[in-house]
Amino acid sequence: MNAPALQARIAAAHIGARRILHGIDLALPAGRWTAIVGPNGAGKSTLLRCIAGLLPCEGQVLLLGRALADWPARERARTLAWLGQQEAGGEDLRASDVVMLGRLPHRAWLAAPTAADHVAVDAALATMQCRELRARRLAELSGGERQRVLLARLLAVQAKVLLMDEPLAHLDPPHQADWLATVRALVAGGATVVSVLHELNMALQADDVAVIDQGRLVHHGANGDARTHHALQAAFGGRIAIHPVQGQWIALPQEASHAN
């Protein structure tokens, strides 16, 4: 297995007085795509925010073998790109300016964007099929258009490690398929992708699946492993079934009367 791109040893994480995460030890190998899944409120976003260094936790997170706190801020921001769930802000910015924010860690202080920055922004907009949105303000976009612009901002960072919380929110099926192709291309190019997904059928296409339930890591394994499927079924109270369909794993909701 590849050396870990990220290693999270989190004894606990709290929001206010409430303990959200309990004893999570997760090593995410480089050059793979890991999906983090689990029921609503399980702690997936909290875990991803701890891994990104956005939420303090009791424990340690290593990025490429070095503690997050030991990275120079700009170098870390070039290495670890982040897309949060329901991100707000920047409403008055044009889409192209939002995507240019992804270039900030590459740019000299107060310097104008370079040709390379413009090329990266243009490529990211093209990959997310939102070049035609570049002059529109974020506030004027639909949910799916906005999400594609924010994904383009993430891509413009050209980071080795990408963290995404519910990246498929508001995306229609063609754009979900584009996102999937983009993730596969990133991973083929050596990047590490970690995405929280509530679309189980997408998550089952990731290389690895980490199952979070009630603030604990209950399983971490390959997408086709029977133990991974059992852990998913258990985390969702026996209310899903996982079947192979045309070479892919498909999770189907089960009626309560069929639950085990």
Site residues, Mg ion (CB under 5 A): 44-45, 85
Q: Which residues make Cβ contacts (< 8 Å) with residue 68, sequence separation at least 6?
A: 53, 61, 62, 76
Instruction: Compute the least distance from the CB of residue 110 to Mg ion, in Å.
Output: 35
C-beta of 46 vs 96, nearer to ligand ADP: 46
Instruction: Compute the least distance from the CB of residue 256 to ligand ADP, in Å.
Output: 22
Backbone angles phi, psi at 157, to 5 degrees: -65, -30
Query: Can you tell me the distance from the alpha carbon of 22 to that of 122, in angstroms, rounded to the nearest whole number?
Result: 42
Instruction: Compute the least distance from the CB of residue 43 to ligand ADP, in Å.
Output: 4
Query: Can you tell me the distance from the alpha carbon of 168 to that of 102, in angstroms, rounded to the nearest whole number?
Result: 19
Question: What is the CA 77 to chain-centroid distance, rounded?
Answer: 15
Among the candidate windows 36-44, 86-94, 137-145, 250-258, which touches ligand ADP by CB under 6 A? 36-44
16 forms part of the interface with ligand ADP (CB under 6 A): yes
20 forms part of the interface with ligand ADP (CB under 6 A): yes
Query: Can you tell me the distance from the alpha carbon of 51 to that of 216, in angstroms, rounded to the nearest whole number?
Result: 15
# chain residues binding ligand ADP, by CB under 6 A? 12
Backbone angles phi, psi at 9, to 5 degrees: -120, 95
Q: Residues 39-78: x/- map of binding to ligand ADP (CB under 6 A)? A: -xxxxxxx--------------------------------
Instruction: Compute the least distance from the CB of residue 130 to ligand ADP, in Å.
Output: 26
In the bound state, the residue with its beta carbon closest to Mg ion is 45
Measured N-to-C along each axis, helices 143-156 and 115-127 cross at an angle, to the nearest 10 degrees, of 140
Q: Would you state the structure tokens that stand for residue 119, as one six-digit string?
A: 């090329």
Residues near ligand ADP (CB under 6 A)? 15-16, 18, 20, 38, 40-46
